[in-house]
Amino acid sequence: MAGAGAQLRRVVALVLLACCSMAPAATARGMSAGIAHNITSFLSGHPEYKQYNRYLTETRVCDEINARGGVTVLVLGDGAMSTLVSDAGADLGAIKNALRLHALLDYWDVKKLKALPTGADTLTDTFYQAAGGAATSATGSVKMAKLEGGGFGFASAASPGDAYDATFTKALKQTQYDFAVLEVSAPIEFDGLFDGPSVASLTRLLEKAGCKRFAALIASTGVLKDYQAAMADKAGLTLFAPKDDAFLAKGAPDVDKMPRADLVALLRYHALPGYNPRPSLKLVKASARPFRTLASTAGGKYNVSVVARGDDVSLDTGLRKSRVAETVLDDTPVCVLTVDRLLMPLELFAGAPAEAPSPTPAPAPSPADATLSSPPSPPPADAPSEAAADHVHKDVKASSAASLSVGALAAAACSAVLASLL
Ligand SMILES: *[C@@H]1O[C@H](CO)[C@@H](O)[C@H](O)[C@H]1NC(C)=O
Ligand SMILES: *[C@@H]1O[C@H](CO)[C@@H](O)[C@H](O)[C@H]1NC(C)=O
């Protein structure tokens, strides 16, 4: 009988519901709402952090914090925040770096701080590091320690010895494993924290990201100067840097033999005027117009199309596609992403053999289908989440990150099964 089947399904669903609700509460909330917490609205209930909250909003660092679970925000009262703003020369980009350094990629509450080992520093990663701003991993981390006279000290891991910029003053919020807000006495800073993405650091970043060849080419052709001009512009720059392998791949042009003007066009083609970080690229609709590149002409030659499918983003030159791989730098208004193949514009390589047409892609589910049948998506987490997993340096307690991700997996599995049953 049809009714019995339906009833059985309902029973199974109920059992699953019960087991899903045993997943950590924070995870379940994060999954269902798509947002685990809202730092802006939390701090708006505490007027003594008005400046801090204002800058979190202006720099959009609040969105980064809200998008993931297992974070600790070290907030500053208005007095300490005004010190930070003046140290940063009131420059929004510089303040953004500092706010990201004050947002830790792990959950720290008073209980965990009390369990810190005595006489040794414990390192924790930060959003600053995850965003690619750090020149070395030390400058992106924050060290914590139990202080001799009691209390807890915080400083950049790049600071020498046992000097701590800031001490813990109080806990404002401790939602286990998800979200902690702790007040500290003074800003955490280090030499270079307030530097924007300079040309020197761009080259260094590219080299570090495995794009040495590209870095050398943009320097020798002078295209680096064009990038620099775009970086200084308010609209910003999005750079797609091919990895070193891409120059050796089958079908790649021999850049050493290209006429100079063509090579310049090719390199300029790898940059978009404007700030388009990965999360924004992911939202580009299939019907969207192609993007202008730094090589584009008034007539729309040298445009490139962005193709987003789920978590995957590719660039289509009309000749072939190249996948957008990692975020090397995301520092408004500049972002640098790597691509796994050279972007070969049709305008330059029309004569080259086009690659075999890819099989017709399956039709994308319509938005209505998606909302009906897919499980709620986890909070968007780009760069920070990748960095999070492998850096719980000397955390003495059981890793909260690990338990959180197990919980998240369980919850995701449960909701998927539930969605198919209900
Ligand atoms: C967070 O709270 C602020 C202030 O209450 C609100 O303006 C903002 O839209 C909220 N953000 C999200 C993602 O809900
Ligand atoms: C080139 O890109 C610009 C900006 O998106 C767009 O307005 C224009 O229509 C494009 N031209 C062509 C030929 O694709």
Residue range 260-281, pLDDT digits in tens: 999 999 999 999 999 999 989 9
CA–CA distance, 295 with 56 (Å, rounded to integer)? 35
Ligand 2: atom nearest CA of 296 is 1
Question: Looking at the domain assignment, is residue 104 inside a domain?
Answer: yes
Angle between the N-to-C axes of helices 92-101 and 78-87, in degrees from 0 to 180, rounded to the nearest 10: 120
Rounded to the nearest angstrom, the distance between the alpha carbon of 254 and the centre of ligand 1 is 51
For residue 33, what pLDDT is reported? 42
Q: How far is the CA of 271 from the centre of ligand 2 (A)?
A: 15
Query: What are the tokens at 128?
Result: 């600053």
In a domain, 8, yes or no: no
Q: Are 233 and 346 in the same domain?
A: yes
CA of 96 to the centre of ligand 2 (A): 32
Calculate the alpha carbon distances from 313 to 16, 279, 295 in Å.
Answer: 34, 10, 21
Nearest ligand 2 atom to the CA of 291 is 5
Q: Cβ atoms within 10 A of the Cβ of 210, count?
A: 18
Q: Name the closest-CA residue to atom 8, ligand 2.
A: 300
Cα 68 to ligand 1 centroid, rounded to whole Å: 15
* Same domain as 223, residue 306: yes
Same domain for 150 and 64, yes or no, is yes
pLDDT interval class at 23 (50, 70, 90): very low
Q: pLDDT band for position 90 (50/70/90)?
A: confident
Residues contacting ligand 2 via CB (< 6 Å): 289-292, 300, 303
Protein residues with CB under 6 Å of any ligand 1 atom = 35, 38, 40-41, 44, 66
Place of tokens 């000290």: 153
Residue 305 belongs to some domain of the structure: yes
206 and 347: one domain?
A: yes
Q: Is the same domain home to 159 and 85? A: yes
29, 37, 41, best to mutate for ligand 1 pocket (most atoms within 8 Å of CB): 41
pLDDT of 323 higher than 90: yes
Q: Are residues 85 and 172 in the same domain?
A: yes
CB 66 within 8 A of CB 37: yes
Cα 155 to ligand 2 centroid, rounded to whole Å? 48
Atom from ligand 1 closest to the CA of residue 35: 13
Q: Which atom of ligand 2 is nearest to the CA of 292?
A: 2
Rg of the chain on CA atoms, in Å: 24
* Amino acid 353: pLDDT: 59
Q: Which of 151, 184, 217 is the last residue of a domain?
A: 184
d(CA 407, CA 20): 9
> Sign of the CA dihedral 103, 106, 109, 114?
negative
- The closest of 422, 389, 395 to 408, measured between CA atoms, is 389
Q: Please check whether residue 111 is in contact with residue 405, taking contact to mean a CB–CB distance below 8 angstroms.
A: no
Model confidence pLDDT, tens digit, residues 36-70 = 799 999 999 999 999 999 999 988 899 899 988 99
In a domain, 403, yes or no: no
Residue 1 lies in a domain: no
Percent of the chain with pLDDT over 90: 53
Residue type at 55 in one-letter notation? Y
Average of per-residue pLDDT across 147-165: 89
Atom of ligand 1 nearest to the CA of 38: 1
CA of 38 to the centre of ligand 1 (A): 6
Percent of the chain at pLDDT > 70 equals 72
In a 10 Å sphere around its CB, with 0-12 CB exposed, 13-18 middle and 19+ buried, how is residue 137 labelled?
A: middle
- Which of 110-119, 157-166, 213-222 shows the lowest per-residue confidence on average (mean pLDDT)? 157-166
Distance 222 CA to ligand 2 centre (A): 26
For strands 71-75 and 179-184, give the pairing. Answer: parallel
Tokens standing for 333? Answer: 């208004």
Q: How far is the CA of 40 from the centre of ligand 1 (A)?
A: 6
Question: Is the pLDDT at 173 greater than 90, yes or no?
Answer: yes
Residue 331 contacts residue 61 (beta carbons within 8 Å): no
Give residue 134's pLDDT: 63
**For 119-123, 177-181, 414-418, which range has the lowest pLDDT when averaged over its residues?**
414-418
Other CB atoms within 10 Å distance of the CB of residue 47: 9
For atom 6 of ligand 1, the residue with the nearest CA is: 41
Its domain, for residue 162, covers: 39-184
Do 179 and 57 belong together in one domain? yes
Residue whose CA is at the smallest distance from ligand 1 atom 11: 38
Rounded to whole angstroms, the Cα distance separating 124 from 141 reads 6
- Give the angle subtended at the CA of 401 by the CAs of 384 and 179, to the nearest 5°: 75
Give the closest residue (by CA) to ligand 2 atom 1.
300
Residue 13: pLDDT above 70? no
CATH number at residue 303: 2.30.180.10
CA distance 347 to 302: 7
How far does the centroid of ligand 1 lie from the alpha carbon of residue 297, in Å? 40
Closest by CA to 75, choosing from 108, 95, 99, is 99
Rounded-to-5 percentages of helix, strand, coil across the chain: 40, 20, 40
Residue 358: CB atoms within 10 Å: 8
Residues forming a β-bridge with 167: 153
Average pLDDT, the chain: 78
The SS3 call for residue 15 is: helix
Measure the CA–CA gap between 329 and 314, rounded to whole angstroms: 18
Residue 332 has pLDDT above 50, yes or no: yes
How far is 237 from 210, CA to CA, in rounded Å?
A: 20
Query: For residues 301 and 358, what is the distance between their CA atoms, to the nearest angstrom?
Result: 24
Band of pLDDT at residue 106, cut at 50, 70 and 90: very high
For residue 222, tell me if it sits in a domain.
yes
Residue 206 in any domain: the answer is yes
Q: With 0-12 CB in 10 A as exposed, 13-18 as middle and 19+ as buried, what is 192?
A: middle
The mean per-residue pLDDT over the stretch 395-419 comes to 38
The reply to whether 178 and 122 lie within a common domain is yes
Cα(402)–Cα(70) distance, integer angstroms: 10
Q: Which ligand is nearest to the CA of 57?
A: 1
Cα of 335 from ligand 2 centre, angstroms: 21
What's the average model confidence in pLDDT over 157-167? Answer: 88
pLDDT in tens, 276-314: 999 899 989 999 999 999 999 999 899 999 999 988 999
Per residue in 338-385, pLDDT tens?
999 999 999 999 876 555 544 444 444 433 333 333 333 333 333 333
* Ligand 2 binding pocket mutation candidate from 303, 316, 317 (most atoms within 8 A of CB): 303
Together in a domain, 222 and 138: no
Local structure of 359: helix, strand or coil: coil
Read off the pLDDT of each residue in 182-194 and give the average, rounded to a whole number.
93
Domain count, the chain: 2
Q: Are residues 213 and 158 in the same domain?
A: no
Residue nearest to atom 2 of ligand 1 (CA): 41
Both 81 and 174 in one domain: the answer is yes
Residues 222 and 113 in one domain: no
Atom of ligand 2 nearest to the CA of 301: 13
Residue 324, H or E segment: strand 321-331
Rounded to an integer, the average pLDDT of 70-98 is 93
- C-alpha to C-alpha distance for 121 and 119, rounded to whole angstroms: 7
Coil/strand/helix, residue 170:
strand
- Evaluate whether residue 411 is within a structural domain: no
